[in-house]
Amino acid sequence: MKLVDQVPTARRDSIAIVGGGASGVLTAFQLLARPDEALSVTVHEATGVLGRGIAYGTSDPRHLLNVRARHMSAYADVPSDLLDWTVRAGRDPDPLGFLPRMEYAHYLQDTLADVADHRLSISAGRVDDVVPVAGGFEVRTRDRVTTAGTVVLAYGNQTPQELGELAGHPGYLANPWDLAAIRALPGDATVVLVGTGLTAIDTVITLLEDEPGRRAVMVSRHGLLPFAHIEQQSTAWVTDVPDGPLTADALAVLVRRQIDAARAHGVDWRNVVDGLRPQTQSVWQRLDHAERQRFLSTYARDWEVRRHRMAPEVADRIRAYRRDGRLTVLDGGLAAADVDTADAVVNCTGPLTDISRSTDPLLQALQTRGLVAPDPLRLGLDATPEGEVIGADGVVVPGLYAVGPPRKGVLWESTAIPEIRTQAAEVARLVLRANV
């Protein structure tokens, strides 16, 4: 008899969340905050430790959030929640400050603990497969098979795509978040970091801060570093995006004009970018496929370095490294760096988004079963804007949802806490409504 025939029908009100990082924890918050005694929520997290994931799993307290504390509450309707937690935890409640990423993990853990009750279970172990069965799904790990009426994919960011041309380098480090390996490098090491985004920024801080004899070279196609946050201006700047068809070129012109207009009023360009943020998802959905491709090929990097900025303290460290000759930033891609003489090369290219190239067993299994498919831009999963997963046949898979980075191709803004917490609340409403 097949294993699937030995598993009982899934309970309709049982919910499995695959992934225990920020996306999974925020989804669990939203489900458990509702007084449904019949509800059963299981968070499947490979490590068994919730709230960390890639973004907040660092052990280096110098890795800071790149969003001010006042915007990082787990609950959109309680904006002071994180600041209230910092007071209770004896930490600095500065609303304009940038907390260490590892402290934000503690906040997520404590906040989940506040709403956790008998309805919540934590399953340690990597989920390798999700299989449709009567009434829902089997959730398979190496050690056990459980059932759920609903599955929420909240697996977060994938590890970077392998750099095959560096596989033979004796000092190649594929995982930029393996801080033990980075700290173990020689005190006089010269290290090439492939990438110039926020991942590379965190990596170079760990690499250089404690060993003054080390040197680093960051390299990417454009050689652009994230800009820095500055002291917050009180003047808000809201850009009204015109109705009707949109193009990437027209949007770029609009943003440039708004930045010029803001400057004429003494307002920094950062206020313009931040003022556009609430409209980004709706604007993205108004671009057709060709215009989204145009944005990605022409404007995405310029937008990203302005949208995802460094905390001021972090930017100060980076400037000091460059001033002292310890950090060099190059454009032109990997060919611009002398990797042959480097003691190590670290892959900081950012998360892999094309699930068709993923080596993750779960994503491979889900694609083989036709339960998930790449979105047209291969930035994540194909899904509806509300988070319902669309299978390989182009049809919504009943009971299967996604929250967080997997929805980037559908929403674009899908990797920061303010957007993820909104997604978590929306998916929770859909799930609970389906269970009524």
What is the per-residue DSSP string for 376-402? Answer: TTSSSB-B-TTSEEE-TTSSEEEEEEE
Phi, psi (degrees; rounded to nearest 5) at 77: -90, 0
Query: What confidence score (pLDDT) does residue 231 get?
Result: 81
> pLDDT tens digits for the chain (436 residues)?
223 334 455 677 899 999 999 999 999 999 998 887 788 999 999 999 999 988 899 999 999 999 999 999 999 999 999 999 999 999 888 999 999 999 999 999 999 999 999 999 999 999 999 999 999 999 999 999 999 999 999 999 998 988 888 888 999 999 999 999 999 999 999 999 999 999 999 999 999 999 999 999 999 999 999 999 998 767 778 888 988 889 999 999 999 999 999 999 999 999 999 999 989 999 999 999 999 999 999 999 999 999 999 999 999 999 999 999 999 999 999 999 999 999 999 999 989 999 999 999 999 999 999 999 999 999 999 999 999 999 999 999 999 999 999 999 999 999 999 999 999 999 999 998 887 6
Q: CA-CA distance, 361 to 144, in Å (whole number)?
A: 16
Overall fold of domain 3-158+352-434: FAD/NAD(P)-binding domain (3.50.50)
Q: What CATH number was assigned to the domain covering residues 164-227+309-347?
A: 3.50.50.60
Q: What angle do CA 338, 341, 342 make, to 5 degrees?
A: 85
Closest by CA to 273, choosing from 237, 301, 241, 298, is 237
At residue 130, the 3 state secondary structure works out as: strand
Instruction: Enter the pTM of the model.
Output: 0.93
User: What is the pLDDT, as a whole number, of residue 9?
Assistant: 59
Between the alpha carbon of residue 37 and those of residues 26, 43, 79, 126, the distances in Å are: 19, 17, 27, 28
What pLDDT does residue 91 have?
87
* Per-domain boundaries in the chain: 3-158+352-434, 164-227+309-347, 248-307
Q: Contact, 430 vs 402, CB < 8 A?
A: no
User: pLDDT at position 3, please?
Assistant: 32
pLDDT score at 436: 60
| 85's tokens | 């937690």
What's the token pair of residue 279? 């409209």
Fold match flag (3-158+352-434 vs 164-227+309-347): yes
